[in-house]
Structure 1
Amino acid sequence: MTGIATPALPSYDSGAWDVPLLGDTIGDNLDRTVARHGDRDALVERATGRRWTYSEFAAEVDALALGLLRAGIGKGDRVGIWAPNCAEWTFVQYATAKVGAVLVNINPAYRSHELQYVLAQAGIRMLISAPEFKTSDYAAMIGEVRGECPDLEQVVLIGRSEWDELGAAGRAALETDRSPLDAARKGLSPDDAINIQYTSGTTGFPKGATLSHHNILNNGFFVGELCHYTEQDKVCIPVPFYHCFGMVMGNLACTSHGATMVIPAPAFDPAATLAAVAEERCTSLYGVPTMFIAELADPLFETVDLSSLRTGIMAGSPCPVEVMKQVMERMGMAEVSICYGMTETSPVSLQTRSDDTIEQRVSTVGRVGPHIEVKIVDPATGLTVPRGEPGELCTRGYSVMLGYWEQAEKTAEAIDAARWMHTGDIGVMDSAGYVSVTGRIKDMVIRGGENIYPREIEEFLYTHPDILDAQVVGVPDAKYGEELMVWVRLREGADALDADALREFCTGKLAHYKIPRYVHIVDEFPMTVTGKIRKVEMREVSVALLEEADRT
């Protein structure tokens, strides 16, 4: 009798979990937290020294919500927020949720033409904005484009009279008649669209990922669950609110657990972040890898007491192994978690756990999150690959967005008929369900028929004593189709590094075809405001540099 071969285990996993999904709206969930933890700190804004307990925070949110209703903003209306991290940002986040308005997050780095696109594409009726920040004159840019945005009826500048009037109208109503707010609450469903976040497109215009209460409240809650948050935790949030990392993994993770949101500065500042952790005794710290690199290198690092830190999240882009180890050892963040996700999935799909081994926490992005499914498929066939084989990472579950705002065709390209979100990332799932993300499908370099994943080379280069950070891109080559160029940031005081020296370091440790041919030394990498490396821009610059070198 012929034996039947046992099929290889497929690269599929689902997040079975004892704690059920939340069925609340964001506003109702906040009210439940206030009822339990009203006297505890909800929000601390370090730049101004302002602080709010949960009861005080809820009063500010309800007043602004009533102000929005009195201004004619209700369920389904789009309200834009264009500002750096500040307390007012969070008030707007929760107030719009309470009335059912759709909050549209606008990147603080946008210029006038990008602002105009978002205002028009989302049909924003009210724009709440900082008057200016750093070198950006937001008020002037709004003035430039307002005439081209027929849906835009109201502009409210934070700190100006119109902001004060909006809040004052709401506070007066709060004292006399809050029934409009109660009526608005009764008309809301957790499945309503509540947030539009524009993905940082590398070509063309960005797409507006549309998210529901159910999407982002649950994602924030379960990220917090895996970080073991309670009302005793204080979370330092230097990542931008305009992105899911700040407003979901930060704010919603806190308010769903009664923890404290700490805003260290309007924009990332390593010294301000370290000071906030030390002086507020934060138990958790967030950041993309470049932020942690900056904090570890800051002169203040050796002088501050970070002993309160227990956990935190490193996410947003691939997390270098060496940096992760330093964060755990030098910053005392023994339970630090790596999260993986994308705006379209609210954002987190995979996360490491506090009881994972060191190796699992430094070499993977963890396992599937609660109530979510993940699989890895062959990009050509769409079939699930066996564990251990690379393919495209896909995710499905409560966290997958409703779709791209008014872009049905783009939505269909990203979410298939079975509601799987195709991430475009290359992943490998091991036998225990842990996933390693080795790069973007579009970042893969094909040199002389060999598939090369830049992440593998970058991880190796972090072991060079003079290299602070490294990013590898492919550039055109007449003989091999593509060659490798590495952009390098050197440590302070390091000797100059050229291609020959780098090649010598790599020889015998990397396969010959993985050794970069070209080296470009830089002070900074081109990045999005959320800290993601812009490899498309790096490739364009690399090609121009090589063409210029050929001419000379």
Structure 2
Amino acid sequence: MARHCQGHIAQCLGGILAHRGGATVAVGSGGHRLSGAEFVDGVRRLAAGLVERGVRPGDVVAVVAFNSIEYVELFLAVALVGAIIAPLNYRWSFEEAAQALELVQPTAFVFDGVFSSWALRLTEGSKFSSIGLYLILGDACGAGHAANFDHIKRSVRESTAIEPVSAPRDVALICFTSGTTGRPKGVAISHTSLIIQSLAKIAIVGYGEDDVYLHTAPLCHIGGISSCMAILMAGGCHVLMPKFDAKSAFDAIKEHGVTSFITVPAIMADLLSYARKERVPGPVMTVTKILNGGGGLSDELRNGASQLFPHAAIFSAYGMTEACSSLTFMAINKPKHQEPNSQPSSHSGGVCVGKPAPHVEIQIGMDANNTSSSPTGNILTRGLHTMVGYWGDNKVDSSDCLRNGWLDTGDTGWMDKAGNLWLMGRQKGRIKTGGENVYPEEVELVLSQHPGVARVMVVGIPDSRLGEKVIACVSIRDGWKWVDARAEHQGKGNEVSPKILQDHCRLKNLSRFKVPRSYYQWRQPFPVTSTGKIRREELKREILATMQIPSNL
């Protein structure tokens, strides 16, 4: 049963209309601009049109599209009428998307012109009979019997305020995980979670109505959606490009005076690479806030970002889809207020990812089998930010994911006396060698600090004596030479060899049992998810196949 709710993401519309009605709040492709009043009017008209076409509270509305103003309008319109939006990753194949659609059984399917063929294929079979409404974004001609987005808005005679309605269990969004360990899961996120995540970003990063925010992340990911929601609540201006590329990003920054955006390491690397190759006039002075997630920035990326964006406060965030994005935040570069020791620190005990946001509880849970004196354990979190549960059989199931309100993040770490969280690595990626636990991320951090290493991945492979043996797959930087010579080779100049990397690990005080026994030059791209996270098990299978070692994966 749907209910009227005090906490609802569409309540931001009132603030936008009251305080930003005459100001530009959205800029789309081709420089199309909407004032606050125009934006709110569009959302309300679309919401009314959805109701007229049978969308009801609790219904799931699936969407596959590139970033656009219409996407943001749809996000709020669906929420306004108490339905649940389920964004599909546009990088998926149709078959992967079909699996997600089977899981959520939507009553409406929304798409932009690029994905018209998907809509046609969905209508051909009986598997998706739950879909009663097909809607194409923008003013493009509908595919088959698809309704037109702009036509629906124009067909509503009058834009009136609609009282926000919530779906059962307060669910606003089904966001799919990026699937590093298998088939993506549908994570049910509540209105409350989105609101308090937005408030955390506003309080810590400092978003406000003067911000011009560039959408670098896709709206199908929790990082993109949660940051979009924060800017909506803060009353800032959204600049939307269909999908990220460095040239378009720099063009938008220059044209619209962009002040803030989010990155993952791959996005930051692309920005810095483009700036160097194209000799982008720098430094870029308008940008004042950068939030990085999806993995830490290397020293090289962090220093490059500070030089290119000298006025930007750069923050790092650690989080996950199941926690509605960011759990902890850390300022890694504050211009003019830089403390001598405020750079993110790392040592053999992991990587510091900062302090929990005000609404977040974090606890280190010890495994029942852990008899060591180490403070390391499973990272657990509790609070209103956690997911309602996983979506399945047209309902939310939280029985296996929340225990006494605590969500197991799947990561391992420890807390220091100052309240900082130190991240060791994924529980499932842990290597058991000679009775000792090795976290690949910890070893990768040390190896990545060698100047000749561009990227490195560490895995464990079967070993008759140790159980598992630690090995490293290394991608070297341009201008460096890999010398796959005998172990005692010392190297000279810009050379990298197994011996050099072993010595580097020991110089960095990495415990002996954590130092990789073997090193391989990796010449091809590492297998990654759509968000740039390594598919470690897939990489492991490739290594085992190359080495002709039997695998039970």
Matched letter for residue 346 of structure 1: C
Given candidates 405, 420, 429, the residue that maps to 2:415 is: 429
How far apart in 1 are the matches of 2:363 and 2:463? 34
Deviations 1:262-296 (A, max 9, x none): 22x32231232233223322222211112212222
The answer for the alignment partner of 2:498 in structure 1 is 502
Provide structure 2 residue ranges, at least 5 long, that are not aligned to the other structure: 346-351, 488-496
Higher strand share: 2
2:77 is the alignment partner of 1:95 = yes
The answer for the alignment partner of 2:217 in structure 1 is 239
How far apart in 2 are the matches of 1:295 and 1:468? 16
Which is bigger in relative contact order (C-alpha 8 A, separation at least 6)? 1
Deviations 1:136-181 (A, max 9, x none): 953454356x421121112223343347744333334252x63xx6
Residues 341/174 of structure 1: CA separation in 2 closer, same or farther (3 Å cut)? farther
Residue 493 of structure 1: CA displacement?
3.1
The answer for the alignment partner of 1:148 in structure 2 is 127
The answer for the alignment partner of 1:40 in structure 2 is 23
2:93 is the alignment partner of 1:111 = yes
CA contact (8 A) 1:62 1:174 kept: no
Given candidates 58, 65, 85, the residue that maps to 2:47 is: 65
The answer for the alignment partner of 1:284 in structure 2 is 260
Residues 44/187 of structure 1: CA separation in 2 closer, same or farther (3 Å cut)? closer
Instruction: Select between 439-448 and 403-412 the one with higher mean Cα deviation.
Output: 403-412
The answer for the alignment partner of 1:519 in structure 2 is 520
Residues 302/421 of structure 1: CA separation in 2 closer, same or farther (3 Å cut)? same
Higher helix share: 1
Deviations 1:66-102 (A, max 9, x none): 2111111121111001112222221211111111110
The answer for the alignment partner of 1:83 in structure 2 is 65
How far apart in 1 are the matches of 2:119 and 2:114? 7
How far apart in 2 are the matches of 1:115 and 1:189? 24
Residues 35/522 of structure 1: CA separation in 2 closer, same or farther (3 Å cut)? farther
How far apart in 2 are the matches of 1:472 and 1:348? 25
Matched letter for residue 294 of structure 1: D
The answer for the alignment partner of 2:543 in structure 1 is 542
How far apart in 2 are the matches of 1:548 and 1:380? 32
Alignment of 1:118-517 (within 5 A): 118-132=100-114, 137-139=117-119, 141-143=121-123, 146-159=125-138, 160-162=140-142, 165-175=148-158, 178=160, 182=162, 185=163, 187-188=165-166, 192-249=170-227, 251-263=228-240, 265-298=241-274, 299-300=277-278, 302-332=280-310, 334-353=312-331, 357=339, 359=341, 362-363=344-345, 364-380=352-368, 389-406=375-392, 411-416=398-403, 418-496=404-482, 498=484, 501-507=497-503, 508-509=506-507, 510-516=510-516, 517=518
SS at match of 1:29: helix
Residue 124 of structure 1: CA displacement?
0.1
The answer for the alignment partner of 1:26 in structure 2 is 9
Residue 447 of structure 1: CA displacement?
2.0
CA contact (8 A) 2:544 2:550 kept: no
Residue 361 of structure 1: CA displacement?
5.0
Deviations 1:169-223 (A, max 9, x none): 3334252x63xx62xx254489621111122334553221111111112212321
Residue 440 of structure 1: CA displacement?
0.2
CA contact (8 A) 1:488 1:521 kept: yes
SS at match of 1:395: strand
Provide structure 1 residue ranges, at least 5 long, that are not aligned to the other structure: 1-21
SS at match of 2:442: helix
CA contact (8 A) 1:446 1:481 kept: yes
Matched letter for residue 473 of structure 2: W
Question: After TM superposition, where is structure 1 displaced by more than 6 Å over at least 4 residues in a row?
Answer: 407-410
Deviations 1:309-332 (A, max 9, x none): 222111023443443343234432
Deviations 1:7-53 (A, max 9, x none): xxxxxxxxxxxxxxx953111122213211122222222x4322222
Residues 230/306 of structure 1: CA separation in 2 closer, same or farther (3 Å cut)? same
Matched letter for residue 482 of structure 2: A
Residue 357 of structure 1: CA displacement?
4.9
How far apart in 2 are the matches of 1:113 and 1:157? 20
How far apart in 1 are the matches of 2:216 and 2:266? 12
CA contact (8 A) 1:254 1:261 kept: yes
Matched letter for residue 312 of structure 1: I
CA contact (8 A) 1:414 1:423 kept: no
Residues 465/164 of structure 1: CA separation in 2 closer, same or farther (3 Å cut)? same
How far apart in 2 are the matches of 1:514 and 1:129? 48
CA contact (8 A) 2:58 2:83 kept: yes
How far apart in 1 are the matches of 2:205 and 2:78? 27
Instruction: Report the RMSD for the aligned CA atoms in angstroms.
Output: 2.9
SS at match of 1:254: helix
How far apart in 1 are the matches of 2:356 and 2:181? 30
Instruction: Select between 509-518 and 32-41 the one with higher mean Cα deviation.
Output: 509-518
CA contact (8 A) 1:120 1:151 kept: no
Aligned residues: 515
How far apart in 1 are the matches of 2:262 and 2:164? 35
The answer for the alignment partner of 2:492 in structure 1 is none
SS at match of 1:405: strand
CA contact (8 A) 2:79 2:166 kept: no
CA contact (8 A) 2:187 2:391 kept: yes
Residue 302 of structure 1: CA displacement?
4.2
Residue 352 of structure 1: CA displacement?
1.6
Residues 140/360 of structure 1: CA separation in 2 closer, same or farther (3 Å cut)? farther
Matched letter for residue 184 of structure 2: P
Residues 239/315 of structure 1: CA separation in 2 closer, same or farther (3 Å cut)? same
Alignment of 1:524-535 (within 5 A): 524-535=525-536
Residues 448/411 of structure 1: CA separation in 2 closer, same or farther (3 Å cut)? same
How far apart in 1 are the matches of 2:127 and 2:483? 50
SS at match of 1:412: coil
CA contact (8 A) 1:487 1:522 kept: no
How far apart in 1 are the matches of 2:379 and 2:41? 43
Matched letter for residue 471 of structure 2: M
How far apart in 1 are the matches of 2:534 and 2:26? 30
Q: Give the TM-score normalised by structure 1.
A: 0.85
Matched letter for residue 293 of structure 1: A
Residue 378 of structure 1: CA displacement?
0.7
CA contact (8 A) 1:96 1:103 kept: yes
